[in-house]
């Protein structure tokens, strides 16, 4: 199979869903954030603080292209579609799944989690703006869109597998 890419906002469940999907399809799973952390030997927060977001985006774009093109599941970082060449790269692929989750649900899920430099506490307005500005970008890059709101991970995986058959 062609590698399947999961895209969507922070907290949409890309990591957990990618793991379950990979198990279901018996293929390896990759996560662009984890690959970046591995290659730099520092956390995402540290990379943003010391190297800056632009450097992070460069690394993310490189990692995206280094992923196996076949027989894998790739979970991506929520901002990967902010870079035009990444949107073009993904648009060219036939297996890109946009996991849509309501912003209110995302905010609830990420309460108390400070691992994401762009969603720091008290930054609700900025998060709303970012969410709204990214929606059309996810839609531009994706082949299918799945609304994950209120659904269990196995149910979401069933839906992806079913829709990808068509
Ligand atoms: C980011 C999302 C994060 C991570 C970084 C930036 C973003 O990944 O890549 O904090 O710009 O939306 P997740 O979507 O896995 O949280």
CB of residue 77 inside a 6 A radius of ligand 1: yes
Q: pLDDT by residue (tens digit) across 4-48?
A: 999 999 999 999 999 999 999 999 999 999 999 999 999 999 999
| H/E run at residue 146 | strand 144-147
- The answer to whether 153 and 99 have CB atoms below 8 angstroms apart is no
Task: Pick the atom of ligand 1 nearest to 60's CA.
Answer: 9
- State whether the beta carbon of 13 lies less than 6 angstroms from ligand 1: no
Give the whole-angstrom CA distance, residue 75 versus residue 99: 11
Ligand 1: does its nearest atom lie under 6 Å from the Cβ of 8? no
The response to whether residue 79 sits with its C-beta less than 6 Å from ligand 1 reads yes
DSSP code for 42: S
How far apart CA 29 and CA 144 sit, in angstroms, is: 19
- Taking the centre of ligand 1 as the mean of its atom positions, its distance from the CA of residue 22, in whole angstroms, is 21
Residue 5 φ then ψ, to 5°: -110, 130
pTM for the model: 0.95
Name the residue with the closest Cα to ligand 1, atom 9: 77
In order along its 166 residues, the chain shows pLDDT tens digits of 999 999 999 999 999 999 999 999 999 999 999 999 999 999 999 999 999 999 999 999 999 999 999 999 999 999 999 999 999 999 999 999 999 999 999 988 888 787 887 777 667 888 899 999 999 999 999 999 999 988 999 999 999 999 987 6
């Amino acid at each position: 199979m062609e590698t399947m890419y999961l895209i969507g906002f922070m907290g949409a469940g890309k990591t957990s869903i990618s793991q379950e999907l990979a198990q279901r399809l018996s293929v390896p799973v990759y996560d662009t954030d984890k690959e970046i952390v591995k290659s730099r030997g520092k956390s995402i927060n540290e990379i943003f603080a010391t190297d800056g977001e632009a450097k992070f985006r460069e690394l993310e774009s490189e990692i995206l292209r280094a992923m196996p093109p076949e027989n894998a599941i790739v979970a991506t970082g929520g901002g990967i579609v902010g870079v035009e060449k990444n949107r073009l790269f993904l648009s060219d692929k036939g297996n890109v799944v946009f996991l849509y989750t309501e912003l209110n649900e995302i905010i609830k899920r990420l309460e108390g989690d400070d691992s994401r430099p762009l969603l720091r506490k008290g930054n609700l307005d900025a998060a709303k703006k970012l969410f709204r500005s990214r929606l059309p970008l996810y839609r531009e890059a994706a082949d299918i869109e799945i609304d994950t709101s209120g659904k269990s991970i196995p149910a979401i995986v069933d839906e992806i597998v079913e829709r990808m058959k068509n």
